[in-house]
Amino acid sequence: MMKARERGVALAFAMIMVLVLSVLAVSLMFVSQAETWSSMNYRLMTQARYGAEAGLNKAINHLVHNYTPPGGVTDPLGNYNTTVSPVLANGAPVILSSNSSVTSNYPVSSAQDAFGTGSQGYLNAGPTGVSYNSYATLLSMRQIAVYGSNTPATIQTWLVTADGNITGIRDAQVEVSAILERQPIPVYAYAVFATYPGCDALGFSGGGTTDSFDSGNIERLDGSVVTQAYGGNVGSNGNLQGSGRPTTINGSLSTPRNGVGNCTTTTTTALTDSGNMQVTGGMVELPQAIDYPLPSPPNPMPPTSTLNLTVNSPCGGIPNCVKVGDRMTLGPGSYGNLNLTGQADVHFTAGTYTINSITLTGNATLTIDSGPVILQVAGQNIGANQAVIDFTGGTFANPSMNPANLQIQYAGSGLIKLAGSSAAAGLVYAPGARINFTGGADWYGAVIGQFVDDSGGTAIHYDRSLQTGFFTVSNYMMSSFTWKKY
């Protein structure tokens, strides 16, 4: 009986095993398919993200290079409500868009069209490719006065959003966003800054030094301004060439370059030290070069005739001129090539002086009686070996010791020669010029040139109060990058 009941058991076991193996096979097929789909999803998501990032970069590139902020006749600031965030136009947030689901609300149709064309596109990726589009929301906007310029700058903050889309057997969509902004920054953030991006942009040797003081709270000892052995930071878009003790930068060196060593046309190092020069604050690697725009040239241009001033020169025929004894005071106005010679004792008072060039020779003295004196220099028809400004042959004095009381602005590429004294306080803004310090002594304030050389042992004392006095606009910055997939 028992054997009879066991008949067919093998078949049952065989069928069960076939079923188990079939389930395992199907499971493996589903697992394999899931892995395939998962890999495909990851690939599609990655491709969609690349497309979205392409859209983001294209939109930002358009805003940085091909878009003009409001403030002109065709796009006045009055079209916008800038007291809220996001900025409003016609009661709605200001938006530029190439995304069909987000409507542009920018008041100028040509700006809408340009952004729509310049912020979308297509990437070849796989069988279907990736399409991308973007939109930008204006979060904030304001105008600031740019130092040295007759035209204010409109600075904005944009929230830029871009989508990357793949349409096919399996769709993929990724959204990325980032903040694009510019900020006001101090013009004179350094004791010395050289805009040239290559070798020898800055040169310090022969005992030249930097340090700092505060013109808003001047300390004096035996009649001399007390300085502090810090805060004399220098900067360059290129290289600092230094040599010799006691040549000392009592502060940091900031540059987008890096490394210490020989500088060549193919390898621009941050610092070339050929004689134990000291940079007490170390080096700061800038994320990008700093752009100092040229100041606005004088308008109208001054004459190019020469005006020789000596101790015996009368005021006759010279506008805005007053002479008492040997002292001659020139008021603000337009002058040609000012040549102070001999025992000339010339004084400037607060206002704007438009000149072609100025030279001090012999024992001539130039004194700033009140400020600010703004010296707008044209430099027309000046020879290659001549200086548009030359203070080395006489004495320059700003007794207030407030560098802002003498501001020299020059848009050309000529030579500026400076010599210090115990009362030489001033600011030089000449981003395209070559500036040379000679004669040692002291210079209180800050200078900006294309090349700056202090090989004569001049001590340059940076005024820390300049951090809050004069502003320009920073480079564009991108921050707060985020992304998400759908």
> How far apart, in whole angstroms, are the C-alpha atoms of residue 366 and residue 424?
10
User: What's the CA gap between 143 and 13, in Å, rounded?
Assistant: 86
According to the model, what pLDDT value does residue 25 have? Answer: 67
pLDDT computed for residue 5 by the predictor? 62
481 in the same domain as 454: no
Residue 60 lies in a domain: yes
Q: Same domain, yes or no, for 67 and 106?
A: yes
pLDDT at 368: 97
Are residues 344 and 430 both part of a single domain?
yes
**211 with 353, same domain?**
yes
Interhelix angle 9-65/109-118, rounded to 10 degrees, is: 140
**3-class DSSP assignment, residue 57:** helix
* Domain-embedded: residue 161: yes
Per-residue confidence at 1, pLDDT binned at 50, 70, 90? Answer: very low
Structural domain of 118? 44-185+474-485
> For all residues of the chain together, what is the average pLDDT?
90
Q: How far is Cα 301 from Cα 293, in angstroms, rounded to an integer?
A: 20
**20 sits in which H/E element:** helix 9-65
> Is the pLDDT assigned to residue 94 strictly greater than 90?
yes
- Determine the pLDDT at residue 246: 85
153 and 110 in one domain? yes
pTM attached to this predicted model: 0.87
pLDDT, residue 44, reads 76
Q: Of all residues in the chain, what percent carry a pLDDT higher than 70?
A: 93
208 lies in the same domain as 309: yes
- As for how many domains the chain has, the answer is 2
Q: What does the H/E/C string look like for 409-471?
A: EECCCCEEEEECCCCCEEEEEEEEEEEEEECCCEEEEEEEEEEEEECCCCEEEEEHHHHHCCE
Q: Which residue has the tokens 């040295």?
A: 148
pLDDT tens, position by position, 232-245? 999 999 999 998 77
Residues 132 and 274 in one domain: no
The answer as to whether 56 is a domain residue is yes
Percentage of the chain with pLDDT > 90? Answer: 73
Kindly tell me if the per-residue pLDDT of 47 is higher than 60: yes
Domain annotation covers residue 10: no
C-beta of residue 423 within 8 angstroms of C-beta of residue 407: no
Cα–Cα dist 416/453, whole Å: 11
Give the pLDDT confidence score for residue 252 in this predicted structure. Answer: 97
pLDDT value of residue 7:
66
pLDDT of amino acid 331: 95
Higher pLDDT: 12 or 272? It is 272
Residue 311 sits at φ, ψ, to 5 deg, of -65, -25
CA neighbor of 133 nearest in space, from 103, 164, 104: 164
Q: What is the mean pLDDT of residues 201-213?
A: 94
Same domain, 235 and 362: yes
Do residues 262 and 210 share a domain? yes
pLDDT tens digit sequence for 350-390: 999 999 999 999 889 999 999 899 999 999 998 878 899 99
